[in-house]
């Protein structure tokens, strides 16, 4: 274990975690809600520093990030633990794992420099902190980001955005791009289905944009929970109010974890969400988890409609940078 610097000892002697908006007070020998930040001898420790539970080379489009080095690859890693308890989690084997001391003892140690060297050997353009919530392993993720920048690599957070102000202050100067899950526009949904709150997520989305980092937003559309016309418009309107050029990814739900009995999102619901996003002023709305190749994952010039980046699934099949080949309009994003 390694000391978790995103913490403080209160006047009462209690140890408070500062990694996310829960602000857990962690008593001796216990962990916070995430299950991976434990108080030992009066000091908060990260149980997962240097111990990724999953490492893979992914297309950056899989994060999904469509306007950040399109067509590149990201060395992707995640640990155990999460500060949310989403009933629909797709990576619940990692995120909801608890009492993991034995599993951690079997994992090889991979320090930040080793992560960067692995990314370089595999030809990645970036390192993605993904698969589980980066906030719960923030010290490791941020140390990786420091090493990555020195090596000319970018760092990405794929995250629920439930951040503390202290984490934002450390992350914003170091993390180059974010994909933030906007799971709903209902605080009740966040509390009941995810074990969190809406407002800290909205605050983080605003703060990331104001800091000048690249961000894209993902919403998993779940039948009967967040797929109403009102809900879709509220999410799209909020994103557009920050910047109409922020890409919004609307993804199809498949039964998972504690929501095995919830039906798959109809394709028509995803198509409607895309339409609503455009009606609310968003320039780039993408559908996810659909098997059809109808051009809905292509990046299209908002001025003339020409295809700027063509995709088949997560694969970029044709691209002209982020400048329209027909009218010369620059598409907002980050490219080589």
* Residue 132 token pair: 């589980």
Quick one: which of 308, 221, 219 has its CA closest to 262?
221
Distance (Å) of CA 227 to CA 104, 276, 285: 38, 11, 16
- Helix, coil or strand: residue 210: helix
Positive or negative: CA dihedral 259, 262, 266, 270: negative
Q: Are 112 and 143 in contact (CB under 8 A)?
A: yes
Distance (Å) of CA 252 to CA 116, 150, 186, 263: 33, 38, 19, 11
Distance (Å) of CA 187 to CA 55, 176, 182: 33, 28, 11
- Residues placed in the known binding site: 82, 86, 89
Q: Are 320 and 56 in contact (CB under 8 A)?
A: no
Q: Which long-range contacts (CB under 8 A, 24 or more apart) does 293-299 make?
A: 297/61, 297/66, 299/66, 299/67, 299/70, 299/331
- Residues placed in the known binding site for [4Fe-4S] cluster: 82, 86, 89
| Cα–Cα distance, 134 to 181 (Å, whole number) | 13
| Cα–Cα distance, 302 to 133 (Å, whole number) | 33
């Amino acid at each position: 274990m390694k000391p978790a610097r995103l913490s403080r000892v209160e006047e009462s002697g209690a140890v408070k975690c500062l990694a996310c908006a829960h602000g857990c007070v962690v008593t001796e020998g216990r962990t916070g809600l995430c299950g991976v930040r434990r108080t030992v001898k009066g000091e908060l420790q990260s149980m997962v520093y240097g111990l990724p539970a999953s490492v893979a080379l992914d297309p950056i489009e899989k994060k999904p990030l469509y306007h950040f080095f399109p067509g590149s690859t990201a060395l992707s890693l995640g640990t155990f633990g999460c500060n949310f308890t989403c009933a629909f989690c797709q990576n619940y084997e990692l995120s909801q794992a608890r009492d993991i001391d034995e599993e951690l003892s079997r994992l090889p140690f991979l320090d930040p420099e080793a992560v960067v060297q692995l990314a370089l050997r595999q030809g990645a353009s970036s390192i993605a902190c993904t698969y589980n919530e980066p906030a719960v392993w923030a010290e490791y993720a941020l140390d990786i980001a420091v090493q990555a920048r020195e090596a000319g690599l970018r760092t990405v957070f794929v995250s629920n955005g439930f951040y503390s102000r202290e984490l934002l202050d450390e992350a914003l100067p170091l993390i180059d791009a974010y994909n933030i899950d906007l799971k709903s526009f209902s605080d009740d949904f966040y509390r009941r289905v995810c074990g969190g709150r809406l407002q800290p997520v909205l605050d983080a989305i605003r703060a990331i944009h104001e800091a000048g980092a690249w961000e894209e937003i993902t919403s998993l559309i779940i039948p009967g929970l967040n797929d109403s016309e009102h809900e879709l418009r509220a999410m799209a309107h909020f994103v557009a109010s920050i910047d109409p050029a922020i890409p919004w990814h609307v993804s199809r739900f498949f039964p998972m974890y504690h929501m095995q009995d919830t039906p798959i999102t109809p394709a028509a619901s995803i198509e409607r969400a895309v339409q609503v996003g455009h009606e609310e002023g968003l320039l780039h709305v993408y559908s996810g988890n659909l098997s059809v190749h109808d051009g809905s994952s292509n990046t299209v010039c908002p001025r003339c409609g020409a295809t700027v980046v063509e995709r088949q699934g997560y694969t970029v099949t044709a691209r002209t940078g982020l400048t329209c080949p027909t009218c010369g309009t620059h598409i907002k994003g980050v490219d080589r």
